[in-house]
Structure 1
Amino acid sequence: MIAQNKVWFITGVSSGLGRHLAEEVAKSGNIVIGTVRKQEQLAGINDLLKGKTFGYLLDVNDHQQVNETIHAVVNEFGQIDVLVNNAGYGLMGAIEETSMEEARAQMETNFFGALAVTQAVLPVMRKQGSGHIVQISSQAGISANHGLGIYNASKFALEGFSEALYKEVLPLGIKVTLVEPGPFRTEWAGASMKFAEKTIEAYADTAGRLKQYIQSISGNQPGDPIAGAHSIMKIVAAENPPLRLALGKLAVETLRKKADWIKQEVADWEKVSADADYKN
């Protein structure tokens, strides 16, 4: 059963998973506030489902604008029941290839942007005594890969603060879920992807090869964004939603492999680890 008559606030709805989620949520009988960064994108959201979808201009990197937008939405609609922090982008390049400017820009949007929106919405949900914060993370927020190190770092950071937030707000009636998609058929690997300006030949067989692979499957990824949207809606409707939701079969496999790796290493090196304590 999908919950109806709720107000969803979804960042980054101009395309991809955010756009599909906005449409499916509205079709199910909910109000959707969708944010975009360009004036010309507003009409596309307002017209998505008349009377149910409402576009707002928002750059999540402008934290004053974030607070003003949340205030305006609450004044207009009275509540925010579900926040989906979806705005973000991918950055490819080996660690050594990535400039500090490129790395900071990635962290600013994927981490600080999500943090700013979350902090702005929390007082609203605390006052309501209810709410659900959905962070669109990635399987890359659990398992790192060559060529995506700074993107990994931004999603690992999102995972870290959101896991703590889960424990902080659960007694207040607020739920938190990290959604961790695998490869989905969106523009993540296409038009929205950014690449480190610098390239170093030594990383051609690691970061370079991954770049080629991701570009080669763009448009043919196994993940269906409409089906993914329905999965997100199901966990929001659940009485006891998970902290983490792997999205897609490849994401499930990735998370299982990471869990097995950690478990095995802890077992293999347990004695060395234990030797670090005082001998009482």
Structure 2
Amino acid sequence: MKKSGKRVWFITGVSSGFGRELAKEVAAHQERVIGTVRNKEQVQEFNDIAPGLTFAHVLDVTQRADVISVMKKAYDHFDQLDVVVNNAGFGFLGAIEEVSVTEVREVMETNFYGALHVTQAALPIFREQRHGHFLQISSVAGFRSTQGFGVYNASKFALEGFSEAMAQEVAPFNVKVTIVEPGPFRTNFAGSSIKRADEHLDAYAETAGAFERAMQERNGKQDGDPAKAAEVLWQVVDSDNPPLRLPLGQVAYEAVRTKMRNLENDMWTWERIATKTSFED
């Protein structure tokens, strides 16, 4: 298929939530979307969103070889790739003492390594064509940690860490990176897309447990509208000067500002002591 003035997007995790809404937004602008799903039964449903514009591939992002293969098929089909959205992932609840190493690795395999696999598969294409845009769907939890969410925090902090470094590495190739940090949105994230540590310790009932209860109580009542979030992300990609970081939603903005104020306060309080570490000539 020949190149056109319209962009080609590659979005992971389009079965629901942000991925699905963003795919619909992109297709509404008559741009093409390759979306990844986990099950064959979801392929036709996604293809039917906008026939000729939405194309589903079954993919487990934790399988590096499969990621490379699907990315190559997508690029070969269109001879074009313009935007890659690392959206696939899941939430995980549990105090640090409660979680097992096996559970931590499962979270990291999808939220960190999965995004890394997709990013590395797209980088040679973007670098050689000297343009492209990564949307790395992190979370406000990738900037500010919360009791009971530490493992999920760790996975998103890791995603943000490599993405921030990569943004500096790929800037000479006209490749852009935006780290998206949503707050609570009315998706399946706090429902079917979240897991919990198998072990449960009563000692954490008023910390990690309280956070879990609050998430359950807010599920389905979150402030954020994912369709409106998709509109914002479209504008970000359409911008000539997209941000490196994008807190998404009022709750996210307030959380980021609170952490920044607390960090600034700590720095002012301890600067005179913490900076006295140089050799004396």
**TM-score with structure 2 length normalisation?**
0.97
Map 1:125-204 to 2 at 5 A.
125-204=126-205
2:222: which partner in 1?
A: 221
Structure 1 residue 52, shift from structure 2 partner:
0.6
1:260: which partner in 2?
A: 261
Aligned residues: 277
Structure 1 residue 203, shift from structure 2 partner:
0.3
Cα distance in 1 between the residues matched to 2:26 and 2:75: 19
1:25: which partner in 2?
A: 26
Structure 1 residue 278, shift from structure 2 partner:
1.5
Structure 1 residue 77, shift from structure 2 partner:
0.8
Cα distance in 1 between the residues matched to 2:90 and 2:33: 22
**What is the RMSD of the two structures over their aligned residues, measured on CA atoms?**
0.7
Cα distance in 1 between the residues matched to 2:173 and 2:275: 37
Structure 1 residue 276, shift from structure 2 partner:
1.8
**Where do 5+ consecutive residues of structure 2 fail to align?**
none
Secondary structure at 1:5's aligned position in 2? coil
The runs of 4+ residues in structure 1 deviating greater than 4 Å are: none
**Match of 1:72, as an amino acid?**
K
1:12: which partner in 2?
A: 13
Structure 1 residue 45, shift from structure 2 partner:
0.7
Structure 1 residue 220, shift from structure 2 partner:
0.7
Secondary structure at 2:99's aligned position in 1? coil
Cα distance in 2 between the residues matched to 1:189 and 1:168: 34
**Match of 2:130, as an amino acid?**
G
Cα distance in 2 between the residues matched to 1:185 and 1:277: 50
**Where do 5+ consecutive residues of structure 1 fail to align?**
none
Secondary structure at 1:73's aligned position in 2? helix
Question: 1:154-211, CA deviations, whole angstroms, 9 ceiling, x for partnerless residues?
Answer: 0000000000001000111100000000000000000111000000011000000100
**Match of 2:187, as an amino acid?**
T
Secondary structure at 2:73's aligned position in 1? helix
Secondary structure at 1:55's aligned position in 2? strand
1:44: which partner in 2?
A: 45
Cα distance in 2 between the residues matched to 1:196 and 1:275: 42
**Match of 2:35, as an amino acid?**
G
Structure 1 residue 277, shift from structure 2 partner:
1.7
Secondary structure at 1:269's aligned position in 2? helix
**Residue 112, structure 1, aligned to residue 113, structure 2:** yes
**Match of 1:240, as an amino acid?**
N
Structure 1 residue 279, shift from structure 2 partner:
2.4
2:232: which partner in 1?
A: 231
Cα distance in 2 between the residues matched to 1:238 and 1:53: 23
- Percent identical among aligned pairs is 50
Cα distance in 2 between the residues matched to 1:279 and 1:37: 59
1:279: which partner in 2?
A: 280
Cα distance in 2 between the residues matched to 1:191 and 1:38: 15
**Residue 79, structure 1, aligned to residue 101, structure 2:** no
**Match of 1:61, as an amino acid?**
T
**Match of 2:13, as an amino acid?**
G
**Match of 1:65, as an amino acid?**
D
Structure 1 residue 97, shift from structure 2 partner:
0.3
Structure 1 residue 33, shift from structure 2 partner:
0.4
